[in-house]
Structure formats: C-alpha cells, structure tokens
Amino acid sequence: MPHKDNKKLNISFSVKKKIGNAVKRNKIKRRLRSIVNDAVKIISINFDFSILVLAKESMLNNEYKNIKETLFQDLEKIK
C-alpha cells in the first residue's frame, strides 16, 4: 500500500471550458497557483486534506489583488 507523504499539499485547480479559451483558463490557473504558493508560506494549512479550487468566470475580469484576498480568506476558514 502506498504511503501518503504528508509534507506535500494536494491541491487541484479546475476551470470550466465555457470560461474562455485555453489561454484564459491557463492564466487563471497560473494566478491561483501563485496565490496558493504565497498562502502556504503565511497560513498554516492542514496537509491532511485534498483541496479543490473551482474557478469562476469573474476571475478573468477581477484584479489579482482581489482574487488573492478572497482566496486567502477562504483558506483561513478551512485551515
């Protein structure tokens, strides 16, 4: 039976195809990855769970700072 490494954060990002073309979807995923990398350094996230982040269409038009604040708040709630 494989041993689960508790030192790695298991987080996935999902962006629906109707949000935009591949370039726009990848931009959202890059932003989310960057925000989560910053969050892991600041917030003590529980590594016992897998996290799935679902992107919304509003992320395309929103500023990076607003997305970061919202995601930080959500991660604080679930830590």
Beta bridge pairs of residue 14: 54
Which residue's entry shows tokens 């995923």?
29
Which residue's entry shows tokens 């995601």?
71
- To which H or E segment does residue 33 belong? helix 22-42
> Which tokens go with 40?
């892991």
> Which tokens go with 48?
């016992």
Q: Specify the pTM.
A: 0.79
Tell me the C-alpha distance between 10 and 28, whole Å.
18
pLDDT digits (tens, 9 = 90+) for 13-26: 999 999 889 999 99
pLDDT digits (tens, 9 = 90+) for 48-79: 788 888 998 888 888 999 999 998 998 888 87
**So where are the chain's domains?**
10-78
CATH number for the 10-78 domain, one of 2.40.50.140, 1.10.287.3510, 3.40.50.10860, 3.30.230.10? Answer: 3.30.230.10
